[in-house]
Structure 1
Amino acid sequence: MRQNNHMLFRINLARRKFLRQGFSLLASAGIIGCGDSATTSATTPVVIPPDTDSNDTPGTLTTTSTPQQVVIIGAGISGLIAGYELQRAGHSVTILEARERVGGRVHTLVSPFTNGQFAEAGASRIPSTHNLTLAYAQHFSLALDPFYPSTNNYFYLQDNSVSLIDAEQHINQPPWPGAVNRSNFYKIRGGMANLPLALSNALAEHINYSSPVELIQQTNDQVTVITGQDQQFIADRVLCTVPLPVLTKISFSPPLSEEKHLASNGGYDYTNSTRLYSQFSQRFWHADNLNGWGDSNWPEEIWQPTWDNGESSGIIQSYLRDVAATELDTMDVEQQIANVHSRWQHVFPELDSYLLTNHIHSWQQEVWTGSAYASPTNLQDSALSAYIGLVEGRIHFAGEHASNFHGWIQGAIASGIRAANEIHNAN
């Protein structure tokens, strides 16, 4: 109860404060440039109330007197945010998405699981400091819940040795140096995909699915976009939100700058991410006073994503990054499962008795993503970051890679707002 009241206090900020903080954040960043209580969510809902005084968002634009034809490549968060704000301002927006879904790396997995269980393939948590993300959640009246459980024990798995950690102690510490405490991380109720779905519902008539872009040609007066289905779109401005590892799938005429060419050909590092999910018929770990959450020294984060939804079955997931993710990807599926479960059995010795299904998601193996999120070295950041989001003629660029918040929804939103402002104010 105390944690949820704390959440209500933070989220019930006045809209104007969100807007001031949002624009201040953009300017300062140079981009203008949980014990496992099954009843916590159900009995003490944390709902972000709709604003009754204003329909503004941090990215709200004034109504334009000179509407432009804008084509946006990619229906991830940055493309959706930019498209939403531009069409509200009176511009004509067309979004071309290579996949058959919106959200990009905000992707809630439902179909692999049963009994109302789901898990996140990508973005999973929102720090209380990410005011742009919170503001858009509020704008669409999305409910938030604590990300981490606040009762039962967490664990740390050091090789074959298990240490238990009191939940109250654990959630009042940051998950990594410089972060807010775990008690100040939140998730969108029902799945993080509810944010891109809310945006796409407002843009439903503007999104073309299964439309991978192959060629972008620009002149002084217009831009022509051609898809793999030989569709052709003429635009005044184009916004490209494609992740750098797959930007090379698009031909540009004239070619992009040397800096963007270098960045998209391996000169701007990305972090790999692979997650293994195991669904169990019962949450048998409760008998040992465990909440299903912990860490190992592989390293990995181990989560129970639906710890608070009241179902009897549950999912435990392994969240692997960088070298650990790359190593797991070298194995076949049976080896991947055995590799992860062989470590988990030191914490969950009964897992084989309750196992229902396994599922694996690797971002670096997705054709339209190529990796999980941008993580440049200091040298790469110094040499290239100023160019990645830079306008080239009539082509604009956005995405978490084109922001100061790599790997976060906040970065995608910030870059989408910045790009929308560029287009809105272009001659």
Structure 2
Amino acid sequence: MDTKTILHLCKLANSQESKHITILGAGIAGLIAAYELERLGHTVEIIEGSSRIGGRILTHHFGDDSKAPYAELGAMRIPSEHKHVLHYIHEMGLDKKLRKFVTVFEEQNALMNIQGNIFRIKDGPRICQQYYQGIFLDTSYSEKTRLFGAWLKTIVNTISPGNLRESLDRDLNSHLMDELERLDLEPYFNEDGESIDFHGFIKANPGFRARCSKALDMFFSDILVETSHDLLQLEGGMDQLINSLAAAIKAPIKCNRKVVALHVQKDGVKVSWLKGKQLHTRHCDYVLCTIPFSILRKMDLRGFDEDKLTSIHNTTYCPATKVAFHCAQPFWEKHGIKGGASFSGERIRQTYYPSVNTNPSLGSALLASYTIGDDADHLGVMPEQERYAYVKKVVSQLHPEIKAPDMVIDMTSIAWGSYEWSDGGCSIPWGDDVSSESNHYIHYLEAARPQNTLLFAGEHCSRFPAWIQGSIESALEVVYEIVTHKPLRATGGAYLNTSTFGQGNAGNINITARDMVSLEKRRPNN
């Protein structure tokens, strides 16, 4: 359902009585919910544990000039089909700043480091096969099968965490090479016979994905998005969306308030938080919790049912670490690199180049390392200066220019896996053991399911984990749940909850045309 339709339904169903909603977390989900609830006439208050707003949208600006280089330490790209995100970019007057995001494997002059051998991505399918051993040397398979299998391995090695890389290796050796040999691969090789249309292959052969491990099959969806040529970015930084939303919200955003306990009661929710060392407790009618489950499960939680607690405790988060360098000059442009990413190898994986213009006299920002999974943990536990030195050393294998004196002006990094307010880069729908088909898979509907008047939103409560789209979609669904909920009403000194949240579909808006007509008749003045 598109954004305007959801908001129209919220307006039609909105009760005349103003409600007060306490929102926990000032990331994108919390801000969107606050913005829309206020526009519908409700009162909100926003409590944020950290000293800043934005959650896992975090833009680091290397200077105060509006054209100064910047690096996205959090969310950095927007798939063109993520219409909820684009709606709010337009709503905030930022659509003129939308630019193409040049992604991994898209810039053909970018580089790859395979076992110490450096070559350009455009030569990748032909060359990388030469450096893989084992099954890729088995001449019982055709040349195209071995070439395709090697390129598939390279793509997964570049983007995926270590456990999924290992899962692919197991699958290739046990049965996937046989499956590739059975399929007609010819249509997916370009005219030169070397470049491979991976997107076309995956879309045309769903049976191939079905024969992968379940986790790898699910991750292929992310790979297809991350390597899409239809990604967008906000010139000037993704934090512009956060700052614009915050400016449009009337309610103050109260930072440095660490929530430590949630007690679900019949007549609302008791919320406890620390401001400094002082404990505060308040009874709230409605609470929207956008706090990641990785943090929520460390709190004192009472009044939750067992299934909800299982969801909170078993939702898996993938670590992510980013390291950015402020460089005196964009030395990579001399090699014909205008954006995209190189595969730097070792523990730093992807190196992204800027594809938007900044003031050249102020230097340029290089996202020197973007890692997830075990690689992110490896970098994340390093002391910061050791982390910078390691990344610089590995990147210098691709770009020796980075070792020149005064080339790196400044550095910044974040390890989301150990970040106090997220304890992870994003949620993943599979567990840690990707080789186990019996492993738990947490469904987003259970993550989103309310507990009385305690509601949940965020990327972990959506169909789009790890994406801004998911956070916004889940926030809009909660807005609908709140405005359609019959208020708590006092009766003889006690409170009666006249309806419950999430019946039937756990918060997903699922309204028929008949329902819409009924709503229109009930609220003719809207």
TM-score, scaled relative to structure 1:
0.79
Q: 2:229 aligns with which of 165, 175, 183?
A: 183
The alpha-carbon deviation at position 110 of structure 1 amounts to 1.9
Is the CA contact (8 Å cut-off) linking 2:21 and 2:287 kept in structure 1? yes
Alignment of 1:278 onto 2:278: no
Distance in 1 (CA, whole Å) between partners of 2:282 and 2:38 is: 17
Is the CA contact (8 Å cut-off) linking 1:270 and 1:374 kept in structure 2? yes
The alpha-carbon deviation at position 352 of structure 1 amounts to 1.6
Alignment of 1:156 onto 2:112: yes
The alpha-carbon deviation at position 297 of structure 1 amounts to 4.0
Supply the AA of the counterpart residue of 1:314.
S
Supply the AA of the counterpart residue of 1:308.
N
Distance in 2 (CA, whole Å) between partners of 1:164 and 1:340 is: 20
Q: 2:300 aligns with which of 227, 231, 251?
A: 251
Is the CA contact (8 Å cut-off) linking 1:259 and 1:388 kept in structure 2? no
The alpha-carbon deviation at position 127 of structure 1 amounts to 0.6
Tell me which residue corresponds to 2:99: 145
Tell me which residue corresponds to 1:260: 308
Supply the AA of the counterpart residue of 1:294.
S
Supply the AA of the counterpart residue of 1:359.
T
Tell me which residue corresponds to 1:349: 400
Say if 1:279 and 1:306 are closer, same or farther in 2 by CA, change over 3 A. Answer: farther
Is the CA contact (8 Å cut-off) linking 1:112 and 1:359 kept in structure 2? no
Supply the AA of the counterpart residue of 2:58.
H
Tell me which residue corresponds to 2:77: 125
Distance in 2 (CA, whole Å) between partners of 1:275 and 1:112 is: 19
What's the secondary structure of 2:225's corresponding residue? coil
Q: 2:272 aligns with which of 203, 219, 226?
A: 226
Distance in 1 (CA, whole Å) between partners of 2:439 and 2:427 is: 11
Is the CA contact (8 Å cut-off) linking 1:285 and 1:348 kept in structure 2? yes
Distance in 1 (CA, whole Å) between partners of 2:11 and 2:373 is: 37
Say if 1:241 and 1:251 are closer, same or farther in 2 by CA, change over 3 A. Answer: same
Distance in 2 (CA, whole Å) between partners of 1:112 and 1:258 is: 49
Q: 1:135 aligns with which of 87, 109, 131?
A: 87
The alpha-carbon deviation at position 362 of structure 1 amounts to 0.5
Q: 1:396 aligns with which of 436, 455, 465?
A: 455
Distance in 2 (CA, whole Å) between partners of 1:373 and 1:151 is: 26
Q: Deviations along 1:307-337, whole A, 9 cap, x unmatched? A: 4224241122210111111112233334322
The alpha-carbon deviation at position 382 of structure 1 amounts to 4.1
Is the CA contact (8 Å cut-off) linking 1:242 and 1:399 kept in structure 2? yes
Q: Deviations along 1:244-266, whole A, 9 cap, x unmatched? A: 11003432332x2323333433x
Alignment of 1:309 onto 2:358: yes
Distance in 2 (CA, whole Å) between partners of 1:208 and 1:214 is: 15
Q: Deviations along 1:243-293, whole A, 9 cap, x unmatched? A: 011003432332x2323333433x221111001111211112222323363
Alignment of 1:322 onto 2:373: yes
The alpha-carbon deviation at position 107 of structure 1 amounts to 0.9
Q: 1:238 aligns with which of 287, 295, 298?
A: 287
Supply the AA of the counterpart residue of 1:415.
S
Say if 1:348 and 1:111 are closer, same or farther in 2 by CA, change over 3 A. Answer: closer
Tell me which residue corresponds to 2:497: none
Supply the AA of the counterpart residue of 2:79.
P
Structure 1: 5+ residue runs without aligned partners? 1-19, 27-55
Supply the AA of the counterpart residue of 2:102.
Y
What's the secondary structure of 1:84's corresponding residue? helix
Is the CA contact (8 Å cut-off) linking 2:343 and 2:351 kept in structure 1? yes
What's the secondary structure of 1:290's corresponding residue? coil
Alignment of 1:420 onto 2:479: yes
Q: How does 1:203-218 map to 2 (within 5 A)?
A: 203-218=249-264
Supply the AA of the counterpart residue of 1:163.
F
Q: Deviations along 1:4-61, whole A, 9 cap, x unmatched? A: xxxxxxxxxxxxxxxx53478x8xxxxxxxxxxxxxxxxxxxxxxxxxxxxx689766
Say if 1:213 and 1:207 are closer, same or farther in 2 by CA, change over 3 A. Answer: same
Distance in 2 (CA, whole Å) between partners of 1:239 and 1:373 is: 19
Distance in 2 (CA, whole Å) between partners of 1:60 and 1:138 is: 20
More helix by share: 2
Supply the AA of the counterpart residue of 1:300.
R
Is the CA contact (8 Å cut-off) linking 1:224 and 1:235 kept in structure 2? yes
The alpha-carbon deviation at position 389 of structure 1 amounts to 0.8
Q: Greater shift after overlay, 204-213 or 411-420?
A: 204-213
Q: 1:289 aligns with which of 336, 342, 345?
A: 336
Is the CA contact (8 Å cut-off) linking 2:28 and 2:54 kept in structure 1? yes
Q: Deviations along 1:75-110, whole A, 9 cap, x unmatched? A: 111111111111111111111111122110011112
Supply the AA of the counterpart residue of 2:375.
A
Supply the AA of the counterpart residue of 1:375.
I
Say if 1:61 and 1:273 are closer, same or farther in 2 by CA, change over 3 A. Answer: farther
Give the count of matched residue pairs.
Answer: 374
Tell me which residue corresponds to 1:372: 425
Is the CA contact (8 Å cut-off) linking 1:269 and 1:375 kept in structure 2? yes
The alpha-carbon deviation at position 62 of structure 1 amounts to 5.4
Supply the AA of the counterpart residue of 1:21.
D
Say if 1:128 and 1:57 are closer, same or farther in 2 by CA, change over 3 A. Answer: farther
Tell me which residue corresponds to 1:29: none
TM-score, scaled relative to structure 2:
0.65
Distance in 1 (CA, whole Å) between partners of 2:11 and 2:354 is: 33
Q: Deviations along 1:189-230, whole A, 9 cap, x unmatched? A: 211111121111112433211112222334322323222133
Distance in 2 (CA, whole Å) between partners of 1:295 and 1:321 is: 14
The alpha-carbon deviation at position 380 of structure 1 amounts to 6.0
What's the secondary structure of 1:178's corresponding residue? helix
Q: 2:383 aligns with which of 332, 344, 364?
A: 332
